[in-house]
């Protein structure tokens, strides 16, 4: 193969980071969200959902509803984003932007829910600094990844 072909087929480091982020999120969605639909209390024991006894009962139902939607919508999009980016297809960028939008949205929802639960004195688990840091990382990485793929969209055929 000539040098130009090799360069064209190369998956760039930034895209590898994005693919890795999507794979990690896919696994967390499958275990944390998919598990919540099947056995909420088991997944809560693992720390991936709020423990039933520490929150208002309606929060568990809301979390299960969100989990089901994440499995139905998010999981297929993560799979398409990973596959499309790996194959360097433009539809991979589009699916990646979609899952980044989900990530930007769910982090904002998490902070917003926490604020309104607290304001209404609804029994909830307050976020620890670790949770805030994870949410901030996911939010900022999603914003960066969206921008990065937009700037590099010409790499994808």
Q: Would residue 3 count as lying in a domain? A: no
Q: Would residue 69 count as lying in a domain? A: yes
Q: Would residue 1 count as lying in a domain? A: no
Count of structural domains within the chain: 1
Q: How confident is the model at residue 6 (pLDDT cuts 50, 70, 90)?
A: low
Q: How confident is the model at residue 157 (pLDDT cuts 50, 70, 90)?
A: confident
Q: Would residue 103 count as lying in a domain? A: yes
pLDDT at 127 over 80: yes
Instruction: Work out the angle between the directed axes of helices 75-86 and 90-119 (0-180°, nearest 10).
Output: 140
Q: Would residue 127 count as lying in a domain? A: yes
| Phi, psi of 11, deg, nearest 5 | -90, 120
Q: Would residue 132 count as lying in a domain? A: yes
Q: Would residue 7 count as lying in a domain? A: no
Structural tokens at position 55: 């929150």
Sign of the dihedral through C-alpha 132, 135, 141, 142: negative
Structure confidence by residue, pLDDT tens digits, 43-90: 999 999 999 999 999 999 999 999 999 999 999 999 999 999 999 999
Q: Would residue 49 count as lying in a domain? A: yes
Diameter over CA atoms, the chain: 66
């Amino acid at each position: 193969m000539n040098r130009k072909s090799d360069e064209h087929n190369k998956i760039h480091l930034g895209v590898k980071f994005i693919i890795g982020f999507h794979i990690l999120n896919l696994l967390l969605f499958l275990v944390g969200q998919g598990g919540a639909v099947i056995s909420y209390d088991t997944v809560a024991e693992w720390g991936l959902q709020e423990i039933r006894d520490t929150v208002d009962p309606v929060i568990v139902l809301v979390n299960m509803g969100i989990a089901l939607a994440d499995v139905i919508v998010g999981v297929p999009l993560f799979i398409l984003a990973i596959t499309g980016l790996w194959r360097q297809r433009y539809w991979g960028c589009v699916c990646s932007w979609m899952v980044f939008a989900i990530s930007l949205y769910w982090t904002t929802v998490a902070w917003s829910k926490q604020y309104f639960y607290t304001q209404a004195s609804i029994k909830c688990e307050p976020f620890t600094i670790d949770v805030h840091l994870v949410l901030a990382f996911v939010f900022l990485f999603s914003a960066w990844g969206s921008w990065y793929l937009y700037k590099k969209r010409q790499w994808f055929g």
